[in-house]
Amino acid sequence: MIYAILEINGKQIWVSPGRFYDVDKIYANPGDHIKMNKILFLRNKQDIIIGQPCIDNVYAKGKVLKHFKGRKITVFKMKPKKNAYSKNGHRQELSRIFIESINTSN
């Protein structure tokens, strides 16, 4: 089993080839291929490689499937005894990426 921990938009994600993941919006068109170079950890069958902080010559190849908005989150703030409150909502923009492969370029 091969998997890696990579950094996308400041967040660390555990990925394996052949699966899709929802991450913060990536500014690429749907159908574009992307190359992610910030691999922090790699397990390839029996070999384990840990980066300091990133691993050189290793990258993940992916494809942007679509862009969409996440679930709505309601933000409610209230100040007691003041009759003051505010209610706001937020929907995070997300991108769905498909990890095609994790390669080592030697």
DSSP 22-68: EEE--SS-TT-EEEE--EEEEEETTEEEE-SSS-TTEEEEEEEEEEE
Higher pLDDT, 106 or 61: 61
Domain residues for 80?
A: 2-104
The pLDDT tens digits of the residues spanning 48-102 come to: 999 999 999 999 999 999 999 999 999 999 999 999 999 999 999 999 999 999 9
Q: What was the pLDDT predicted at 46?
A: 87
CA 19 from chain center: how many Å? Answer: 12
The pLDDT tens digits of the residues spanning 9-55 come to: 999 999 999 999 999 999 999 999 999 999 999 998 888 999 999 99
Q: Domains in the chain: how many in total?
A: 1
Q: Are 76 and 85 in contact (CB under 8 A)?
A: yes
Q: What is the DSSP letter of 37?
A: -
The pTM score is 0.84
